Amino acid sequence: MDETQIIEHLKNGDEFIYKYVYDKYVRIIFNVCYKMAGSKEEAEDASQEVFIKVFNSIDSFRADSKLSTWIYRIAVNVCINFQRRKKIVKFLSFDFWEEEKDSPVENSTPLKSLEKLEIQNTVQRALNRLPAKQKTALILSRYEEKSYKEIAEIMGTSLPAVESLIFRAKENLAKKLSLLKNN
């Protein structure tokens, strides 16, 4: 099924297409949400929200970008909003002075060595401390292997802005990684 047909079925509200779209995009959405949120539980909630938004607002999709770009954009926005909400809840629950608790990265393969898990945890913790936009740009570039042009489309920003975001993200990350490792 090509993209035009998928969009047409989605717009018609044909229910069989939901499962099709879900199967096609669930891995990338879940992985982006997982990297952005840092835990499987939050990634699950965020992924559900993304699909609901995709299915419910397909009428607003103007086909000026690829469907996958539009879905990525929704995922990024949902994850940033989740993070914002989390910060507000944390602030309101008077936990704001506490050191940020980092969700440990779950072991994805049973054979993964402890050392690798520790590395993964450290990098994820450093990523969690980056500003939302820098984190998004870096995740899309490093883990989703998107080009800067695609990232600009997904984030609704310019190419130089993406370059600058990734540059600053890498600078910040190096700083945070050294700090975490020293601690």
Please report, as ranges, the residues that interact with another protein according to CB under 8 A.
18-19, 22, 26-27, 30-31, 34, 40, 43-44, 47-48, 51-52, 55-56, 106, 108-109, 112, 116, 119-120, 122-123, 142-143, 167, 170-175, 177-178, 181
| Minimum CB distance to another protein smaller for 43 or for 154 | 43
Q: Distance between CA atoms of 169 and 133, rounded to whole angstroms?
A: 9
Q: How far is the CB of 96 from another protein (least distance, A)?
A: 27
Q: How far is CA 59 from CA 10, 12, 17, 66, 93, in A?
A: 9, 9, 15, 15, 38
Q: How far is the CB of 123 from another protein (least distance, A)?
A: 5
Half-sphere exposure of 7 (CA within 13 A, CB side): 16
In single-letter form, the type of residue at position 57 comes to: S
| Minimum CB distance to another protein smaller for 6 or for 65 | 6
Q: How far is the CB of 70 from another protein (least distance, A)?
A: 18
Q: Exposed, middle or buried: residue 61 (CB in 10 Å: 0-12, 13-18, 19+)?
A: middle
Q: How far is the CB of 174 from another protein (least distance, A)?
A: 4
